[in-house]
Amino acid sequence: MKDSKMEHANETTGQPSEMHHERMQHDDMANMSMQHDQMGHQAGMETMAMDQGAMNHGNMHMDHGDMSHMDMDHGGGHMMHMGNLKQKFWVSLIVMIPVLLLSQFMGMNIHLGALQLPIVFPGSDWLVLILSSFLFFYGGWPFLTGAKSELQQRQPAMMTLIAMGITVAYGYSLYAFVMNHFIAPNGMVMDFFWELATLIVIMLLGHWIEMNAVMAAGNAVEKLAALLPSQAHVVHGDHVMDMPLAEVQVGTRLRVLAGEQMPADGQIVSGTSSVNESLVTGEAKAIHKAEGDRVIGGSVNGDGVIEIKVTGTGESGYLSQVMKLVQSAQANKSKAESMADKVAGWLFYAALAVGILAFFIWLPDGAATAFERMVTVFIIACPHALGLAIPLVIARSTSIGATNGLLIRNRQSLETAKHAKFILMDKTGTLTEGKFTVAKTVAFANQDEAQVLALMAALESHSEHPLATGIKAAAKDQQLKVPVAENVQVLKGIGLQGEIDGQAYTIVNARYLKDHQLSYDQAQADQLAAAGNSLAFLLQKDQVLGMVAEGDQLKPSSKQFVVALKRQGITPVMLTGDNHETAKKVADQLGLTDFQAELKPEDKVAQVKAYQQRGVVMMVGDGVNDAPSLAQADIGVAIGAGTDVAIDTADVVLVHSDPADILNFLSLAKATNRKMVQNLWWGAGYNILAIPLAAGILAPIGFILSPAVGAAIMSLSTIVVALNAMTLHLKRA
């Protein structure tokens, strides 16, 4: 983090916490892209394949092939290369049909009208052997390779259980075939080819449904990519030609006609227009844009024709970064998911023990019966539904969040939010608009007010801070001649310093004056501060030349937001670098009883730690100067997407820059936790009940659970878990 981004000079106390970016810093996107290339590609579903082919929007390449490279994170966090899953399912289903027609079902002959099963003809049993072997190695290969990966990492889980089940079924069936054809032709050792075929097909079907559910949950990423047009009007001198957006590079000059979408992030170099950025930022009103202003790729041009110089496309573009946020959120492991993985591991060892025990208990009834019970236990105990319980809910939740302006970077924040007791909030730009206007300029030491304002505007010409913007605007409105400032530097926690006409000047805050015991009209300063103004002072050496008082306005939703938090039993706390009088006025307007003023960045971190001693803390800031406290908090929420600090330190980014969206986040978190608990109970509870049945505990009353039925029930639980996850929705606050 550069100090220039951490501090600003003319804050009343010089605290970086009061920085608010009205316009997103797209220049930081390239750096942000480099920082997150690895993180954005760690998702277990990195290459999300779909049948409609590949979409490429401005170098934001999203592969949607035919699921030929589907990677899925299962159980203990192992990657299972699924291969062409859809193709494997359909081929296996077709091969399964003759196996069913030619094989005995649990040793029984079945009459379906004129059709008698199994169908027997010379060599039919050999055909069953060949087809079943094909199914085992072709359809079962994803599970075998997944089990190998789990065992190599010494974390046996779901894939190992499935592989064990189909291997035992296939191995025993080979034994039965050899016995019936070569060793004891007159005997009848029952095989499990029928069960093997149905088990593999049902498992593949369950995984296919899982993939479709996950892809449906990830549609928000595709919608973001679809905001960009496929063509751009490239300007070459006096000529304009259309070019595929994928070929547009940074620095290219583009023409955007009225009503068109911005092809990429850029800076206007010619023309003026009103731009609607609601699709990407949530700002509903049209924003006037002129030469020098920046535009976001995906926003809609108004009634003017403009030309822009591309500043970000592909990996460095705003929408690309939004998509990486969604991907990185889905890549992170949450605590609840880790717990689900542990449960899956426990079930594996439980199933192994129960299966072996069942084998020896049933062995007196014959090896076939004993193997049948063991195979059924292994099939039933597969924690497939349990392994899906959390990932599907999280994928769905992060997708819903993205479409509602909530970029959830850290899955853990969804689970931690239900315990939130304190929400600590920055003032400027979070609770207030961050749009400062000069209320009064005061001159000391026989200085002229206009001269004080002009000198401060000269120093502030090197800053884009809201307070700096207010000072520069006031100087422009008064048509003051602003001198040129040189060697301007940021003073961490203090302000700005620079040289004007060979003289050194400094802009500082009230705290600096107190710490250095510099004399000034403190009564007048306190009066202006009590009116809710932020103060900045101009110094020449140790002499205070004057001060500027700037006022800010509360965001319309801030007061209702505070009331809603209290209603939920959450204590809102305001942290600010402003003086106590200004902070108290804002706190009184909002109905806040807890607030801390005149805080430096390290002070805010200390406040976060102090409140953490009393409960779970959520910190809300502008994502720039609040980086340390955002990182320290249990949940860090950044106001305004698009800054490097927001990406680096926040767990959640509010795209709309509206703190009221935190209420939506809390609502989404509660709904998400509810679904996770439901799925965990379904997955674990199903296995707890099914394992004894698979072992044959009800055999004395005539109930025997076959491997095929066990596979069907297990896959049904997978479908239920997936459907339950997909019913998650956001009840907006």
Catalytic residues: 426
Radius of gyration of the CA atoms of the chain, in A: 33
> 116 vs 41, 105, 120, CA distance in Å?
54, 12, 9
Closest CA to 8 of 662, 714, 624: 624
* Helix or strand run (H / E) with residue 690: helix 661-695
Mark residue 681 as left, alpha or beta (left: phi above 0; alpha: psi -120 to 50; beta: remaining).
alpha
Helices vs strands, H then E, count in the chain: 25, 28
Which stretch of DSSP H or E encloses residue 171? Answer: helix 158-178
Which DSSP string do the residues of 558-626 spell out, in sequence order?
HHHHHHHHHHTT-EEEEE-SS-HHHHHHHHHHHT-SEEE-S--HHHHHHHHHHHHTTSEEEEEE-SSTT
Per the CB < 8 A criterion, the answer to whether 439 and 694 are in contact is no
682 token code pair: 């379904």
Query: Phi and psi (nearest 5°) for 512?
Result: -60, -40
Rounded Cα distance between 731 and 671, Å, is 8
Could you give the maximum distance between any two Cα atoms of the chain, in Å?
A: 119
Crossing angle, helix 158-178 and helix 193-217, to 10 degrees? 160
Q: How far apart are CA 608 and CA 619, in angstroms?
A: 8
- SS3 sequence of 132-149: HHHHHHHHCHHHHHHHHH
For residue 423, count CB atoms less than 10 angstroms from its CB and return exposed for 0-12, middle for 13-18, buried for 19 or more: buried
DSSP secondary structure code for residue 16 in this structure: G
Name the strand (E) or helix (H) holding 72: strand 71-74
Whole-angstrom distance, CA of residue 380 vs CA of residue 375: 9
Give the integer Cα–Cα distance in Å for 288 and 310.
Answer: 19
CA angle 141, 147, 153 (to 5 degrees): 140
Rounded-to-integer distance, Cα 263 and Cα 52, Å: 23
Count of other CB atoms within 10 angstroms of residue 285:
9
Nearby residues of 604 by Cβ (< 8 Å), 6 or more positions away: 17, 424, 575, 626, 628, 629
Q: Helix 158-178 and helix 124-134: axis angle, to 10°?
A: 160
In one letter, which amino acid is 658? D
Q: Which residue has the tokens 């000069």?
A: 438
- Please, are residues 279 and 300 in contact by the beta-carbon 8 Å criterion? yes
